[in-house]
Structure 1
């Protein structure tokens, strides 16, 4: 039995990640958003009331650049920024229109992801999703480490 040559994980997931990014960019653009604006909207809709700093940190996004994205999302009526007990800290609340927009973009993304992975049997696609979630949930697999 010969041992299969191992490839670096980045070599394997890099092309996939680039394809997924293109899907997300295209889906967000169809809703009049940038990929980052969708990411902010999506993260804020998953946990209501996060501060803009918390959202930026969760996304690995610039704390300064998120302000412009939030301005646009707020102008479009997709989010509201509310001040908490610390008047300098703004908490993000997604409006019903924002939730609907996020759901539409997410549905478009999932449709395109399914098309991208259509050559895989359904159980294999589910296993891939499960494995990726397990890797990200493991305490030693923080994507925030340098």
Structure 2
């Protein structure tokens, strides 16, 4: 008897990831932001006072490209740069308007997620969320 086929997790998660990413891009664009601008603003709203470098590193995003995104967010009144105690560094803060936009986009993303996962059995979404949170909290393996 042949062993059951085991599939790589990335192969299983890939289609879900692509669908979730498309939903997030669409929801951000409907509010006039790029997906990366939303991601930057979202982290700035959740973790106030980080530097541009910290934000970029937290998101795995280019330290050069984040500057343009922050320029757009600041010009739209959604985020602000504040001079830190070390004058060579700015801390990034979401404005009230920025936090409201994050909340609006988040609601739209969650609705899209619910639609995408609607065929899961009862409790499936909560189980998936719990598993992903557990695995995501673990440190990266060395190697």
Whole-Å separation in 1 of the counterparts to 2:50 and 2:140: 25
Shift of 1:2: 6.6
Unaligned runs of 5+ in 1: none
Deviation at 1:3, TM superposition (A): 4.2
Q: 1:109 to 1:81 in 2, by over 3 A?
A: same
What do the CA deviations read for 1:57-116 (whole angstroms, capped 9, x no partner)?
010000000000000000000011001111121101111000000000010000000000
| Number of equivalent positions | 143
Q: Is 2:119 the counterpart of 1:116? A: no
Q: Which runs of 5+ in 2 are unaligned?
A: none
Q: Distance in 1 between matches of 2:124 and 2:2?
A: 25
Matched residue, 1:138 = 138
- Which residue does 1:17 correspond to in 2? 17
What's the secondary structure of 1:91's corresponding residue? strand
- State the 4+ residue runs in structure 1 displaced beyond 6 angstroms: none
SS of the residue 1:6 aligns to: coil
For normalisation by structure 1, the TM-score amounts to 0.93
Q: TM-score, normalised by structure 2?
A: 0.95
CA distance in 2, matches of 1:68, 1:50: 17
C-alpha RMSD over aligned residues: 1.6
Whole-Å separation in 2 of the counterparts to 1:113 and 1:51: 30
**Aligned equivalent of 2:51:** 51
SS in 2 for 1:32: coil
- In 2 relative to 1, CA 74–122 (structure 1 residues): closer, same or farther, beyond 3 Å? farther
Counterpart CA distance in 2 for 1:66 and 1:8 is 33
Q: Give 2:105's aligned residue.
A: 105
Closer/same/farther in 2, CA of residues 86 and 67 from structure 1, 3 Å limit: same
